[in-house]
């Protein structure tokens, strides 16, 4: 079926890889029409509610050395931090009062005992003190036992970007100690444990083709994820991997089109309009919502840490406070006539359908 006839039969939307690629490079009127269709499908399937996830970047200490990432372990210009638990809890308190409904605890990757125990204890304490809040973790590749401990402590969702679904491409972006197969395995384990699982890729990364991006979307569908967060690749002057061909406009457009086509392919999942979009365009996150996204992640990391969590150059909101971000994002959502879903968890509807089908 062609996307232009797909509106009434969301479940049967089936787009060939060629059509996906054609849509990914859409510009002008064609692009506008694609985004409009995607937002209609969003409205029908997951409503016009935009759900909040207060993002707490609680540590930038990382044992990985991804070639593209500003907080890679070899970047000795970054001042490393790990927020004390009470400070994390204060940030959660802010989210609770702002009625965000959900938080994301994100950090660099570590697998040492101290780190894991501390994440478990923090999740437990958040559950105790703020039972209304849903918790998403984004702390990288761990083993099954650890993921299970995180789940048992009260985390409901987990984000682990695959970064690229092409093994060869993955190898060009990561040092040899990092394994594409292990990352895929982690996603599988997370699903088996019962998390709502999110993944994603960087759009416009070095060595990436439009065909790779189409394959990324088909990969999300194949592994049947509940949530996706994708953002444009943005160079950093503190990493080895940068390249001549970087084109800001192209990466922004490709990222927005990725959101829109994904909404056509997976109508009931949660899709984030990510901060990186705003690094490339002052209204980048609004454009992401207009292209079919339904999740927004206001940063609630205390201001003094923000300049040390620079994954890429030009990250927005680094001098702002959590209150500034709350006001700013509220206004942004209202400016495009979507609903601010304060006080709602905004769980992935796809997750509930998936779990129901699995148990039948």
Count of C-beta atoms within a 10 Å radius of residue 162: 20
Dist CA 149 CA 116 (whole Å) = 9
Strands 102-107 and 157-159: unpaired
Least distance (Å) from ligand 5AD to the CB of residue 13?
27
Measured from the CB atom, the residue of 81 and 312 that comes closer to ligand 5AD is: 312
- The answer to whether the CB of 269 falls within 8 A of the CB of 197 is no
Check residue 238 and report its DSSP letter.
T
Check residue 133 and report its DSSP letter.
-
Least distance (Å) from ligand 5AD to the CB of residue 158?
13
Least distance (Å) from ligand 5AD to the CB of residue 76?
17
Return residues touching ligand 5AD (CB under 6 A): 68-69, 161, 163, 202, 231, 233-234, 236, 276, 311-312
Least distance (Å) from ligand 5AD to the CB of residue 214?
18
Least distance (Å) from ligand 5AD to the CB of residue 312?
4
Of all residues in this chain, which one has the CB nearest to ligand 5AD in the complex? Answer: 312
Q: Tell me if residue 81 falls in helix, strand or coil.
A: coil
Dist CA 24 CA 173 (whole Å) = 22
Q: Which of 114, 121, 102, 81 is nearest to 296 (CA)?
A: 102
* 168 to 56, 172, 255: CA distances (angstroms): 32, 7, 21
Measured from the CB atom, the residue of 141 and 163 that comes closer to ligand 5AD is: 163
Measured from the CB atom, the residue of 136 and 340 that comes closer to ligand 5AD is: 136
Dist CA 165 CA 184 (whole Å) = 9
Measured from the CB atom, the residue of 127 and 171 that comes closer to ligand 5AD is: 171
* 134 to 58, 98, 186, 207: CA distances (angstroms): 17, 14, 21, 37
Dist CA 235 CA 312 (whole Å) = 6
Q: Which of 82, 107, 97, 83 is nearest to 130 (CA)?
A: 97
Measured from the CB atom, the residue of 92 and 138 that comes closer to ligand 5AD is: 138
Measured from the CB atom, the residue of 34 and 104 that comes closer to ligand 5AD is: 104
Measured from the CB atom, the residue of 26 and 276 that comes closer to ligand 5AD is: 276
Measured from the CB atom, the residue of 158 and 233 that comes closer to ligand 5AD is: 233
Check residue 6 and report its DSSP letter.
-
- The answer to whether the CB of 54 falls within 8 A of the CB of 275 is no
Residue tagged 């709350």 (tokens) = 326
Measured from the CB atom, the residue of 297 and 338 that comes closer to ligand 5AD is: 297
Least distance (Å) from ligand 5AD to the CB of residue 15?
25
Least distance (Å) from ligand 5AD to the CB of residue 235?
6
* 111 to 136, 189, 292: CA distances (angstroms): 18, 16, 35
Least distance (Å) from ligand 5AD to the CB of residue 143?
19
Least distance (Å) from ligand 5AD to the CB of residue 70?
6
Residue tagged 């065909």 (tokens) = 211
């Amino acid at each position: 079926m062609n996307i232009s006839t797909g509106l009434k039969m969301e479940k049967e939307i089936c787009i060939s890889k060629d059509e996906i690629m054609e849509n990914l490079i859409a510009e002008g009127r064609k692009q506008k029409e694609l985004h409009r269709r995607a937002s209609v499908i969003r409205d029908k399937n997951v409503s016009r509610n935009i759900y909040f996830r207060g993002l707490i970047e609680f540590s930038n200490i990382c044992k990985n050395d991804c070639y593209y990432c500003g907080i890679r372990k070899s970047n000795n210009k970054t001042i490393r931090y790990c927020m004390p638990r009470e400070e994390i809890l204060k940030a959660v308190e802010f989210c609770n009062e702002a009625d965000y409904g959900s938080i994301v605890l994100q950090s660099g990757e570590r697998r040492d005992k101290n780190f894991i125990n501390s994440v478990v204890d923090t999740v437990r304490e958040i559950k105790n003190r703020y039972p209304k809040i849903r918790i998403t973790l984004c702390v990288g590749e761990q083993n099954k036992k650890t993921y299970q401990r995180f789940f048992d402590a009260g985390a409901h969702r987990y984000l682990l970007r695959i970064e690229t679904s092409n093994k060869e491409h993955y190898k060009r972006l990561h040092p040899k100690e990092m394994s594409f197969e292990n990352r895929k395995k982690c996603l599988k384990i997370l699903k088996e444990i019962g998390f709502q699982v999110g993944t994603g890729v960087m759009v416009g990364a070095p060595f990436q083709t439009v065909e790779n991006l189409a394959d990324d979307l088909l990969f999300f569908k194949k592994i049947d994820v509940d949530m996706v967060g994708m953002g444009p690749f943005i160079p950093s002057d503190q990493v080895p991997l940068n390249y001549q061909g970087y084109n800001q406009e192209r990466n922004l457009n490709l990222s927005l089109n990725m959101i829109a086509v994904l909404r056509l392919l997976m109508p009931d999942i949660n899709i984030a309009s990510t901060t990186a979009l705003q690094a490339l365009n002052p209204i980048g996150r609004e454009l992401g919502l207009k292209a079919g996204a339904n999740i927004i992640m206001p940063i609630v990391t205390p201001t003094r840490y923000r300049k040390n969590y620079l994954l890429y150059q030009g990250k927005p909101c680094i001098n702002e406070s959590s209150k500034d971000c709350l006001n700013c994002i509220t206004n942004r959502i209202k400016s495009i006539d979507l609903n601010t879903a304060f006080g709602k968890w905004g769980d992935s509807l796809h997750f509930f359908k998936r779990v129901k089908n699995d148990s039948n």
